[in-house]
Structure 1
Amino acid sequence: MGRSNRAARSPEPALTTGPDGRGHAQGPLTRPVGSGLAELRPDRDRPHAWSLLIDGAPQSLVDLADPTHLGFEYQRRLGHLIDLVAPPGRPLTVLHLGGGALTLARYVAATRPRSRQQVAEIDTALTELVRAELPLERGWQIKVRGADARSVLERTPEGSVDLVITDVFSGARTPAHCTTVEFTTLAARALAPGGWYTANIADGGALPFARSQVATLGAVFPELCLTADPAVLRGKRFGNLVLAAAHTPLPIADLTRRVASDSSHGRVEHGRALTDFTAGATPATDATAAPSPSPPPGVFR
C-alpha cells in the first residue's frame, strides 16, 4: 500500500494528562509525516494506550502506563523471541530496523533494564511525533537514527549486537533492498556470538514472498523458524509472519509453548516442515528482489 503526503491537518483534540504527567491528545490526532498521514488513535479499553496508523494501516500500539503490553499479535511473537534470546532480565544490545512508535524498544527497555538499543527510522517527522505524544521514559538507552535501515545496518560494527529486529515497511510493503541475501548477510555480520536475527513480514495467498524470505534467511543462517496464524499459513487471509534465524539452535519448544498460550492462535514451523513450506523457493538477491506484496483492499477495516 502506497502512502501520500497530505497537507490537511485535523483540529487539535483536547488534552489529557498521561502517566508521565504531560498533556497528551485525548481524541484521534493526525499529522502529515514523511511516509503519509499518521494517526494516533486512543485505545477504547486501555486509558493510556494509543495505536499508530499510517494512511489507515495499523503500525504500532503503545501503552504509556505499561510498556510490556504488546497489543498486536506479531509484536507479541517478537516479544516471545526477545524474552528467549537471553536469560530473563539480562541487558541486551538490540538493533531495531524500523521504528514506528518504538513499541518493541520500549518492551526491551522495560523487561531488560540497562539494555542498549539503536533504532533506524527513516521518517524523522514520525519520530518527532512519537517522541512528543508518546514520550520515552527517562533512563532508557534508546537512540533513534533518522536513516535508511540498510544504511544503518551497513555501518553497524561486526559482532556488536545480540538481536536484530527487522520491521521495515514503506506504506504497507517491505522495501526490496531490505529483503535480500546481501541484507541478511549484513545482519549476520552485526550479530555477536549466539545472537539472533528476527523479521516481521506480511504476505497472503500462496505466500510466495514469505517462502522466498525463508529461503533467503536459509542461505545465510543454518537455524530458522517461522511463526504465524494458521489461517495465514493456509493462505486463507493476508497477515504477518515472524521469522527468526541464528547460527546456533533456537529454543523451538519454549517458543512453541509461548505461542500456543498466546491469546491469538499461532503455529511455529521449523525443520522439515519449514523446508516443505519453502518448496524450492529461490532466495532474493539485490539483483532479483521485489517489495513485499500490497495488502488486498479492505484488509485493515
Structure 2
Amino acid sequence: MQHMDAVLRTLWPEPRPIRAAHIGGGLCALPWAWENLRPTSRQVVFEVDSHIADLARLHLPLPRKPILRIRVADGRQSLEGSRAHLDVIVRDAFKGRNVPLHLSTLEWNHLAQSHLNGLYLANTAHGKGTDARPDIATTSHVFAETAIIGDSKVLKSARWGNLVVAATSTPGLIDWEELDRKLRRLPLPARLVRPDEISRWLGGASPLRDPLPTA
C-alpha cells in the first residue's frame, strides 16, 4: 500500500481528490487512507467476499456513499457495465496466492484502460514457484508505460512476495526519477524497475488471454 501511495503522490500530490475503483478491497485500508489523505475523493470498492465487506463496514468509520462505496460484486463484471471515467484503478484481488485469471488478461487490461484517465495499479505475487511475468507482460502490452516496484529478492525470484505494477497510457505522465526517490525514502526501501528496463525483466513472457468459450 505504501508503494501504491508513493506512485499516486508522484503523479498527484496530496491533497488532490481522486476518482478511484478498487478491484478487491480487503478491509478497505487503502481506500480509507486515501479518503483521509485526499478528502472528497470518490471511491468504489468491489469485493466478492460479503463477509470481508461486512467487517470493513463494521470496524472502519467509512464515510457515507457516494464518497466511498463498498459493493459486493465482481469488479470486472461491474466495470463492463459502467460508463465511469476514473483517475485510478487498483487491482488487489487474489484467489489463494494467485491473481484470478479474468483480472489479468489482455481483455481485462483493455477494459481497465478504457475507463482510465490516469493510473493503473496492480498487486501481484512472484517468486518461489509463483511467476508474475505473464501477468505483468499483459499489462505492459496494453499500457504505454509499465513499471514494477518490489523487494530486490522478490524481483530476483529468490523469495516469494508481492510486487506492485504501475502503468499509464500517457508516456511521461509519471516522473520515474521522483518515484524512485520516494521509494528509497520509505521505512523499507523498494527497488523500481522502470519502463525502459521492464522488457529484460519479463524475459519474453507472453500476455494472457481470456479462455476461448467452450462449445
- Equivalent residue, structure 2, for 1:179: 104
CA shift, 1:200, in A, is 0.4
- Equivalent residue, structure 2, for 1:110: 36
- Letter of the 2:196 partner, please give it: R
8 A Cα contact 1:109 1:140, kept in partner: no
- Equivalent residue, structure 2, for 1:283: 207
Q: Does 1:268 align with 2:188?
A: no
Matches within 5 A, 1:1-301: 75-137=1-63, 141-157=67-83, 160-192=85-117, 195-205=118-128, 209-248=131-170, 249=172, 250-287=174-211
CA shift, 1:137, in A, is 4.5
Any stretches of 5+ residues in structure 2 without a counterpart?
A: none
CA distance in 2 between counterparts of 1:135 and 1:162 reads 24
Quick one: structure 1 residues 109 and 146, their matched pair in 2 at CA, closer, same or farther if it must change by over 3 Å?
Answer: same
Task: Considering Cα pairs closer than 8 Å and 6+ residues apart, tell me whether 1 or 2 has the greater RCO.
Answer: 2
* TM-score scaled by length of structure 1: 0.66
CA shift, 1:141, in A, is 1.0
Moved segments of 4+, more than 4 Å? 137-140
Quick one: structure 1 residues 83 and 139, their matched pair in 2 at CA, closer, same or farther if it must change by over 3 Å?
Answer: farther
Structure with higher strand content: 1
CA shift, 1:113, in A, is 0.8
CA distance in 1 between counterparts of 2:110 and 2:4 reads 21
- Matched pairs, number: 210
CA shift, 1:139, in A, is 8.0
* TM-score scaled by length of structure 2: 0.91
- Equivalent residue, structure 2, for 1:59: none
When the two chains are superposed, the root-mean-square deviation of aligned CA atoms in Å is 1.8
Structure with higher helix content: 2
Q: Name the SS for the 1:198 alignment partner.
A: strand
CA shift, 1:138, in A, is 5.7
CA distance in 1 between counterparts of 2:22 and 2:11 reads 15
CA distance in 2 between counterparts of 1:266 and 1:283 reads 26
Q: Name the SS for the 2:142 alignment partner.
A: coil
Q: Name the SS for the 1:219 alignment partner.
A: helix
Larger Cα-atom Rg: 1
CA distance in 2 between counterparts of 1:256 and 1:283 reads 27
8 A Cα contact 2:126 2:155, kept in partner: no
Quick one: structure 1 residues 173 and 210, their matched pair in 2 at CA, closer, same or farther if it must change by over 3 Å?
Answer: closer
